[in-house]
């Protein structure tokens, strides 16, 4: 099991009651801003050039997220590109060296944690190399209905900066690209929403 005292990344916030409040990320996000300006082809190139991820135990706690929609998502895409988009972060809690439970952190309704997933290392649907796979359909996490069709991948492209594609699973198992996203462990949280 991961020893939190050895982790270089911030830990998931928790209160004395055991709840996990949703916190506001710092507006200073230079690495995520640079990725936003790079464009989808550059993101795909960075992902492909990144080393294969084998040990992801340092991917832990709340990590600030930015989404990068694919072309053709005109209205939603404009919202997704904004730093204030309602998707705040993804959170990871390791249960052993090969698996983590996680969820998404959202700004909705004053802040909520939802859309659970299981994270493991496996083969990428994008290029066949090793990645961290986020599976929302795993029955251990109980993600509701159509949201179980979401599938994400991640690779560390710089220390503490993770990038990957996000897909929607179609009937029959085919994947449809919904865009890209990044997690940056260097962005701090300023306090509760």
* Number of domain units in the chain: 1
Within a domain: residue 68?
A: yes
Residue 95 included in any domain:
yes
User: Is residue 13 in a domain?
Assistant: no
% pLDDT > 70, the chain: 77
Q: What would the mean pLDDT of 71-97 be, rounded to a whole number?
A: 69
Question: Residue 182 domain-assigned?
Answer: yes
With respect to residue 6, please indicate whether it lies within any of the assigned structural domains.
no
Q: Which of 144, 143, 105, 141 is nearest to 120 (CA)?
A: 141
Cβ atoms of 117 and 138 within 8 Å: the answer is yes
Identify which has the larger pLDDT, 138 or 143.
Answer: 138
Residues of the domain holding 91? 34-187
Most confident of 13-27, 29-43, 66-80: 29-43
Q: Are strands 87-96 and 130-135 parallel, antiparallel or unpaired?
A: unpaired
Q: Comparing 14 with 77, which gets the higher pLDDT? A: 77
Count of CB atoms situated within 10 Å of the CB of 57: 16
Q: What is the CATH number of the domain that holds 88?
A: 2.40.128
Quick one: pLDDT at residue 171?
Answer: 82
Q: Does any domain span residue 111?
A: yes
């Amino acid at each position: 099991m991961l020893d939190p005292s050895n982790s270089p990344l911030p830990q998931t916030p928790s209160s004395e009651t055991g709840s996990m409040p949703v916190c506001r990320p710092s507006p200073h996000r230079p690495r995520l801003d640079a990725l936003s300006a790079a464009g989808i082809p550059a993101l795909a190139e960075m992902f492909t050039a990144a080393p294969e991820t084998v040990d992801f135990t340092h991917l832990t706690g709340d990590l600030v997220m930015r989404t990068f929609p694919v072309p053709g998502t005109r209205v939603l895409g404009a919202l997704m590109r904004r730093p204030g988009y309602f998707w705040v972060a993804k959170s990871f809690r390791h249960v052993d060296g090969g698996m983590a439970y996680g969820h998404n952190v959202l700004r909705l309704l004053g802040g909520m944690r939802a859309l659970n997933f299981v994270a493991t290392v496996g083969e990428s649907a994008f290029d066949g190399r090793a990645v961290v796979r986020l599976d929302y359909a795993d029955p251990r996490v109980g993600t509701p209905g159509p949201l179980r069709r979401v599938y994400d991948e991640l690779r560390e492209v710089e220390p503490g900066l993770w990038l990957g594609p996000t897909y929607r699973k179609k009937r029959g198992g085919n994947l449809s690209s919904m865009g890209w996203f990044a997690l940056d462990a260097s962005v701090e949280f300023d306090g509760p929403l």
